[in-house]
Every structure is written in structure tokens, then in C-alpha cells.
Amino acid sequence: MDWNTPIDLNRISHAWRQGRALGLVREDATAVLFHDLLRMGARVAELQAVFPPRTVHALAIKANPLVQVLRCAVGAGAGLEAASLEEVWLAQAAGCPPSRIIFDSPAKSTQEIHRAIELGVWINADNTDELARIEQALTLRRGYRGRIGLRVNPLVGEGKIAMTSVGGHQSKFGVPVSDAAALLDLYRRYHWLTGIHVHVGSQGAPLQQLVAAARVAFDLRASIENVTGRAIEFIDLGGGLPARYDIDADPPTPRDYVAALRAAVPELFDFQGVLLTEFGRAVQASCGWAVSRVEYVKTVANQCCAVLHLGADFLMRPVYRPAEWRHRFYVLDQAGRPKAGDARPVQLLGPLCFAGDIVAPSVLLPPIETDDLVVIGDTGAYTLSLWSRHCNRAIPMVIGVRDTAAERLEPLKARETAAEIVALWS
């Protein structure tokens, strides 16, 4: 599949018009989010096609926690990675079997550990104190071994984006691989500790870093098996494959990743245990787009500005860290058709009450008028899931797109109501 090609604007336009025709998108809609479930299914299938057949691809719920989206991923054979016990609940709500749920929270309470063991999900411990709590929990459940791994920091360095890099010396996650003796001691002491987890970061982590982390995991597996005489039963490679945002030219695809793994970690392909992955944005980001009506067009300091209904509440990272995250933008006319005309610079302003709520400082788009529709591309990951309550605007409705034919659009989540917002703060 052509992994890095963004969704076609005609598909986006068609989905909007079908949404209007079906009455899913109301005439007065100010913003609507879309998620292409067909595309997501194809991306899960691509992962399944290129990785060894027994791999469980657990999509990171934090990238997109919509239960209907998760349900569709589970239906396509994916598992789910939960960064909190609450996300385990979401995985259950999406119908994910425990054998495909990974519980990764770096701050698990004793109660949460008990609950996760009871459920039989995969658990990756973050540190030695957590292992001691797991030991206690397992002692209470005599005979039960669980599916327990340890997060190891492979120390393969930082990626381009410091805030999402977790493979450097400063990382707060996991036991550093440099503590080799201590690590081997843990695997010797805890006979139920049978997994190794590495995750080095997200967007901005070069492919070599992901592959180097896998190399570290398999080297560690060899040392552990040597010392303990026990087999490592699962290796979790984490997520971290980048998405293709507007500033990222052709990031590596799953095929590139697997080819690089084949060269650097050949034993991964004969591994008799379970291989796990935890991709988030690489699968989800390009499946989503957002449409906002242009509420006003005005001139500020000689610059043409369009006021949108989505800002830092939805696009937290692009607004607060614009140098690191940049989405694609398009304009549709009031009827939802791609607008023509010579591109001109325009500033896209968010609706929140602070000066920095700027979605794009200057972007070249066909002439924009009030009531046009601005499309923000690649919003399927870490946008809705990072929704901020600043100014308390309602979370827009989300529509799932299976095909752009009339009957293949479905509401995934209704627009938040006034009563829900009041309840939230009551």
C-alpha cells in the first residue's frame, strides 16, 4: 500500500457532502471531525502483512481513544495498548480480548496491578519497586504467572523532538540497559518476569533508533536466557514509527522498518515467543481530518486572518510547539467543494481567548471567505485525545468513514452537549 500518501482532498470533500446529504452534518455545524475506518483497517492489515505472523499489533489508545475507532481496530485483528487502567476499560469497552491488551502505565497503583493481573492482560512494569509490588500480588494468587515484562531503556539516544523522546539518559521510563547486572538479577529473582519492553519515542525518532532498541532487546534476551535458563516469552518493541505531517518528508514505512529489522536483528524472525508492537500515530494520524467553518475573515496588522472553531483545544501540540508539529490545510467552499483560485498567505486563528491560539501563522490557501470550510489534515492521532478544556468549547461530533458512498458514513460520537459540559464541572 502507499503508506505515506495523504488522504485525497476529493474524498474529504465527498465525505463532507455525504454527511450533509445524510443529515449527519447539520447546516449550522461549526466543526466536525472525521476518521477513515477503511484506511485504518488497511494500515492494520499492512502491519500484519509485513511483520512476522504471530505479532500482536496493539494500537496505542492514547493516540485515539474513541471506542468505536478502537472497536474497528480490534475487529481488524489489532490489540490495544493502554497507558492507564482507564484505557484498559476503553479497550474492554471496544471488545478487545485480554490476550491483546497491554497495560503500560508508568504509575500503576497496587490496586491497579491486582486488577490487571486479575484481567490477564499483558503488563509491562516500569521499575524495580513496581516489580516488588507485582511479586506480592502474584504471591496472593498462587500459581498464576501473569504475562509480565519489564520496560528497559535501551539508551539509544534522543530523537528530533525532545518532549516525546524517551530513549536517552534523561528518560523517566524504564530500567536503563546500562544497569546490566541489576537487570539480570531481576530476571533471575522473578521467575514470572518473562517479557522485555522497549519504546524509544515517537515522531522524530529516526528508524535507526527504533532498530537499535530492538537490537538491545534481543541482546538482552540472549543474556537473560543464558543466565536464567528460562525463555523470554514476549518482546514488545513499542511504537514510535512517525507519521507524515506537513514538515516530514516520506517517513519510514512499516516495510522499511521490517527490512531494517531483518538486517539488524535477524533472530527476531525466528523468535518463538510473542512479538508485540504499540504503534499509535503511524496508523491513526493520517486517517483523521477536521473541518471547521470559517466564522470570520479579518485583517490584523496587514495580514489576512481566518477565525476557526478549532484551536489549541484540539491542536494542542501544533499550537504550543509549532516548529515541531505542522498539519496540512485545505479550503472547501460552503457546499464542501475544493476551492479554486490563486493561493495567498492567510493566518489561521483558533477560537480560544489567548493571543497564542494560532493554528497556522501563515499558510498558502485559495482566497478564504466567511462560511468556507477549512480542512485540517492528519488529525487522527494526539488531537482529540489531547482535547483541552480551555474556554470549554464543546467537543465536535466525530464521523466514521468506511467509504464515501452515502450509506458508509456513521456517527462515532455525538457533539458534546451543554449538559455534559456543565456535568463535567459540577
Ligand X SMILES: Cc1ncc(COP(=O)(O)O)c(C=O)c1O
Q: Binding residues for ligand X, per CB under 6 A?
A: 60, 63, 81, 104, 199, 202, 238-241, 278-282
Are 309 and 351 spatial neighbours (Cβ–Cβ below 8 Å)? yes
Q: Which is nearer to ligand X, 237 or 306 (CB)?
A: 237
Smallest separation, CB 163 to ligand X (Å) = 10
Torsion of CA 43, 47, 49, 52, to 10 degrees: -170
Q: Which is nearer to ligand X, 239 or 288 (CB)?
A: 239
Q: Which is nearer to ligand X, 153 or 404 (CB)?
A: 153
Residue 395: closest CA among 322, 310, 326: 310
Smallest separation, CB 338 to ligand X (Å) = 30
Smallest separation, CB 104 to ligand X (Å) = 5
Q: Which is nearer to ligand X, 84 or 228 (CB)?
A: 84
Q: Which is nearer to ligand X, 240 or 251 (CB)?
A: 240
Coil, helix or strand at residue 310: coil
Smallest separation, CB 365 to ligand X (Å) = 28
Q: Which is nearer to ligand X, 137 or 285 (CB)?
A: 285
Q: Which is nearer to ligand X, 257 or 330 (CB)?
A: 257
User: CB atoms < 10 A from the CB of 95, how many?
Assistant: 11
- Please name the residues in contact with 372: beta carbons below 8 A apart, sequence gap of 6 or more: 293, 294, 306, 331, 332, 333, 334, 339
Smallest separation, CB 169 to ligand X (Å) = 18
What is the Cα–Cα distance from 324 to 114, expressed in whole angstroms? 39
Smallest separation, CB 284 to ligand X (Å) = 8
Between CA 37 and CA 46, with CA 41 as vertex, the angle to 5 degrees is: 145
Smallest separation, CB 166 to ligand X (Å) = 7
Smallest separation, CB 235 to ligand X (Å) = 14
Smallest separation, CB 241 to ligand X (Å) = 6
- DSSP string spanning 149-184? EEEEE------S-GGGB-SSTT--SSEETT-HHHHH
Quote the cell numbers at residue 388: 483541552
Coil, helix or strand at residue 138: helix
What is the Cα–Cα distance from 361 to 321, expressed in whole angstroms? 12
Q: Which is nearer to ligand X, 127 or 228 (CB)?
A: 127
Are 117 and 140 spatial neighbours (Cβ–Cβ below 8 Å)? no
Are 351 and 311 spatial neighbours (Cβ–Cβ below 8 Å)? yes
User: CB atoms < 10 A from the CB of 421, how many?
Assistant: 15
Q: Which is nearer to ligand X, 40 or 291 (CB)?
A: 40
Region of 155 on the Ramachandran plot (φ > 0 left; ψ -120 to 50 alpha; else beta)? left
Coil, helix or strand at residue 47: helix
Are 121 and 148 spatial neighbours (Cβ–Cβ below 8 Å)? no
Q: Which residue has the cell 534481543?
A: 218
